[in-house]
Amino acid sequence: MFFRLLRLVLILALFVLAPPSSDAMAQAIGQGAAALIAEQMKAIQDLTAKTDDLEKKIPQEAEEDAGLVDIRLQLEDISRAALTSALAFRSRLADINNRIEVLGAPPAEGQPQEPEIVTSERGALAAEKAEINAVIASAQNLSIRISGLIDKISTMRSELFRNVLTKRYVLSDALSPEVFSDAQDEYANFYKAVSSWLTFAFKFKFQAVLAATLMALSLAAVLFVGGRRLFGRVFEADPSVEDPSYLSRLSVAFWSTLLPTLAVGVFLVSTVFFFNYYNVLRGDIGVFLNALVAVIAVVFCVNRLTNAALEPRLPNWRLIPVETGPARWLVRLTTAMAVVIGINNFLSVVNDKMGSPLSLTIARSFVATIIVGVILILMGLLKPFKATDGRWRPWPAWLRYTAFALGLFTVAAALLGYIGLAIFVSLQVVVTGTILVTAYIGFLSARAISEEGGFANTSIGRWLSVNSSYEESALDQLGLVVSVAINVMIVLVFLPLILLMWGFQPGDIQAWGYKLATGLTIGSVTISLTGILSGIVVFIIGYFLTRWFQGWLDGSVMARGKVDTGVRNSIRLAVGYAGVALAALVGVSAAGIDLSNLALVAGALSLGIGFGLQNVVSNFVSGLILLAERPFKVGDWIVAGDISGTVKKISVRATEIETFQRQSVILPNSNLINNAVGNWTHRNKLGRIDIKVGVAYGSDVKQAHAALLEIARGHPLVLKNPEPFVLFTNFGPAALEFEIRVFLADVMNGNVVQNDIRFAVLDVFADQHIEIPSAPRAVVETKKHEAWPIDDDKIEVDFAEQEQAKAEAVAEAKRLAKSGRKIRKPDPD
C-alpha cells in the first residue's frame, strides 16, 4: 500500500517536472509489459495444449478408475496454474488504472483540447489493458473448461463403479464343462512359463538366485533377531504369568504381529529386489512374483494377527475372551478366508497376463466368493463363549446376524451372477475386517493407557518415573494425553485405509486432504485446519518460550543481580503476560486470521465489556497498577479492611492473602487499590508493640515506672533506638494505667516479645511488692428449678412412696398422740 502510494507520488512528480521524459518511461514500461503478456500468453497456451491432451485421454481411460483420478488431479493442477498466470498481471493492471486516473477523463465537447501526448498515452494504456484482459479471459475460459471436464470425470467414475457392482454374468456359460478344459490349458501354459523360467534360472543364473535368496534371508534374519533382542521381553507371551495386564497382552499382540510380519515382508521385498538386481526375472515372471509376494504377506499378516489376538494356546494372553476351541477354529477360518482371497487375487493377475477367457475369470471368482460366504456363515455359527452353567453361548446378536447377512449376501450375489458385487463384498469383509479389528485393538490400548496408573506401568512410564521428576498424577495426565494422541492417530491412519478399501482412490483422499488443509467452506465461513493448527502450535511454542525466558530472567539474571523480590515478582509477571499476549498475537497471524476482522468484533464487544465485565476489567487494571506501583510484595504482612495476613501471590485479577489462621483469602485487586491497605513490612520490618499494665492505687508509681522501663530495656529483641518508652496513660477507675512501648526490628516477633515482657512484669512486681489490681466481681448464686421429670413410671413410683410416707407419718403422729407425748418446739437461737 505504502509502496503503491510512493509510486503514485513519484509518477506524479515525474509527470509534473519532466513531461518530455514520461514518454520514454512509458515506453520502457510498455516493453516490459509486452514481454509479460507474451510470456503468460505462452504459458496459458501450453496449459491449454495439456488440457487438450488430457481431454483426449479421458475416453481411453474410461474403464480405469485410477487413470481417471490421475487425469483429474492433473486437471486441477492446470487450473491452479492458469489462475497463477492470470495473477501475474495484477500489479501491471493496478499501475495502468492508476495512470489512467492520473491522466483524468478525456475532455468533454466544448472544453479546451488536451495535449496530444496525453491522448496518445491514454490510448496506449487502454490498448495494453485490452490485451491483458484478453489473456486473463483465455485463462478464465480454460478454468471453466477444466471444471466441466472434472464434472464429467466424476460422473464417469460413479458410472464405472455402478457398472462393476451391477454387471450380471450368465453363470450357465461360465460354469460349463468347457471351463475345466480352459483351466487345464491355462495351467499348462502357466506351468510352462514358470518351468522354463526355472530351468533358465538354474542353468544360467543359479549363483545369482542363491546369492539373492541368501541376502534376503540374512536381511530378514537380522531384522527378526535384532527385533527379538530389542523387544524380547514384550515380544513373547510368558505362559507362567497367571493374569497378565491388558496392556502387556496388547503389547505382546502388537509386537508379535508386527515383527514377524515385518521380517517376512523384508524378506519378500528384498528377494524381489535382488532378483531384479541380478536380472533373474524374465517376462511375466516378475508380475507373478510380485502378486505372489503380496498374497503371502497378506496371508501371513492376517494369520499372525488372529493368532496374537486369540492366542489359541495361552488362554491367559487372549485379547478377546473366547474359549480355546472356538479360538482355534476362528484362527483357521480367518486364515482360510485370507488364503482364498489371496489365491483369487493371484489367479486374477495370472489370468490377466495369460489373456484367459472371461468364463475362467467368472468361474474362479464364483468359487472364491462362495467359499468366503460359507466361511462367514460358519464364523457366525460358532459358539465362542461358555455360560456359567457350562452351555455354549453364540456371538452377540448384532455380530452374528451381520456375519450371516454378509455371508448370505455374498453367496446369493454370486449365485445370481453378480460376480463383481460378490468379489467386492468379500474383499471388503476380509480387508476392512482386519483394519477394523486392528483399529479396535488400538482403541483398547488407548483406553488401557488412559486408565489410572496405566501409563505409569508402561515401559515409557517407568522410564519417565525413574529419569524425570514427574509425579504419579503428572504421569497419569501424560497418559491421558498419550491416549488421546493414539486415538487421533488411529483415526488418521485407519480412516484413509478404509476409504481406500471402499473404492476411493488415493487421489480422492489427497484432494480431500488438500481441501481440508486449505479451507473448508461452510456457508460464508471458511475454516482451514492447517491454519488453525499452525496457529495453535505457534502459540504453544510462544507460550513455552515465554515461560523459559521468564524462568531464565528470574532465576539467572535477577537473582544474581540481587534485585528486590517485589521488583522481581513484578517483572516476572509482566514478562509472562506480555509474552503470552505476544504468543497469542503471533499465533493468530500464523493462523492467517485478519486482525482487522477481530477489531470489528472487539468494537462490538467493548460495549458489553463496559457493562458486563466492568468488575473484571477494573480488577485487571488494578492488578497492572499493583505490579507497577508495588505497595506490597509477596511475603508482606498487610491489613486490608478486616483481613490481615501474609501476601502469597499477586495475580492480575486478584491477590491471595494467607491469614495467620492459615485461611487463604482471594482479594480482588480493585479492593486493594481503592481502599486503604496497611502494610507492616513495607520498607522495613520495624514495628512498635504496646503492652498495657495496670498498677494499684497507692503503689509507688515512680518505682513501678522504673521497673517497667528496666524490663523493656532488658529484652534482647527490643531496639535501643528508637528507645523503649513507658507511658503513664491514665488514672483509670480501678488502676493507674501504664503502657510499655517498644520497637522491634522484626514486627513478626511481636507475640514472643509481648509474652516475655508480661511474664517479666509479673515477676518483677511480685518481687517489689507492687500490686496489679483486678476489679472484684460479685458472685451471684442463682437457684435452679428442678427439671420437669420425663419418666412417668418413676413419677408414679415416687408418688406412691410419698403417699406411703405421709400415711406412715400420720399413723406415727396418732400413735405418739395416743402415747401422750408432746412435740417440742425448736430451741430459739
Partner 1 sequence: MWKSLVAAIAFLAVGGSAFAASATNKDAETRTLVVTEGGGKTELALAAGETAEFCPSGCFVTMPNGDLEALTGSETIEISGGVARIK
Q: Which residues bind partner 1 (CB under 8 A)?
A: 1, 79-80, 83, 86-87, 89-90, 93-94, 97, 101, 129, 133, 136-137, 139-140, 143-144, 146-148, 151, 518-519, 521, 524-528, 531-532, 535-536, 539-540, 543, 580, 584, 587-588, 591-595, 597-598, 601
**For helices 419-450 and 472-501, angle between their N-to-C axes, nearest 10 degrees:** 180
Q: Which regions of 669-817 does DSSP assign to beta strands (E)?
A: 677-679, 687-695, 725-731, 736-744
Please state the closest distance from residue 601 (CB atom) to partner 1, in A: 6
> In 3D, which of 572, 587, 499, 489 has the Cα closest to residue 542?
587
SS3 state at 691: strand
Please state the closest distance from residue 608 (CB atom) to partner 1, in A: 14
Grid coordinates standing for 133? 484482459
DSSP 558: I
Please state the closest distance from residue 137 (CB atom) to partner 1, in A: 6
Contacts 24+ apart (CB under 8 A), 156-162: 156/58, 156/62, 156/68, 157/65, 157/68, 157/69, 160/62, 160/63, 160/65, 160/68, 161/65, 161/503
CB-nearer residue toward partner 1: 128 or 311 = 128
Which string of b and e fits 505-544 if b means at least 16 CB within 10 Å? bebbbeeeeeeeeeeeeeeeeeebeebeeebeebbeebbe
Burial of 406 (0-12, 13-18, 19+ CB in 10 A): buried
- Whether a cis peptide bond, with omega within 30° of 0, leads into 722 is yes
CB-nearer residue toward partner 1: 80 or 233 = 80
Burial of 660 (0-12, 13-18, 19+ CB in 10 A): exposed
Grid coordinates standing for 686? 520495624
Give the strand pairing for 736-744 and 687-695: antiparallel
Please state the closest distance from residue 140 (CB atom) to partner 1, in A: 4
CB-nearer residue toward partner 1: 531 or 694 = 531
Please state the closest distance from residue 658 (CB atom) to partner 1, in A: 24
To 5 degrees, how large is the angle CA 340–CA 343–CA 346?
Answer: 150
Contact between residue 678 and residue 640 where contact means Cβ atoms under 8 Å apart: yes
Give the strand pairing for 392-393 and 643-650: unpaired
CB-nearer residue toward partner 1: 28 or 600 = 600
**For helices 285-310 and 419-450, angle between their N-to-C axes, nearest 10 degrees:** 40
Q: How many Å from the N-terminal Cα to the C-terminal Cα in the chain?
A: 124
Please state the closest distance from residue 606 (CB atom) to partner 1, in A: 14
Contacts 24+ apart (CB under 8 A), 419-422: 419/169, 419/362, 419/365, 419/366, 419/369, 420/164, 420/165, 420/166, 420/167, 421/164, 421/165, 421/166, 422/365, 422/366, 422/369, 422/373
Please state the closest distance from residue 756 (CB atom) to partner 1, in A: 49
CB-nearer residue toward partner 1: 596 or 684 = 596
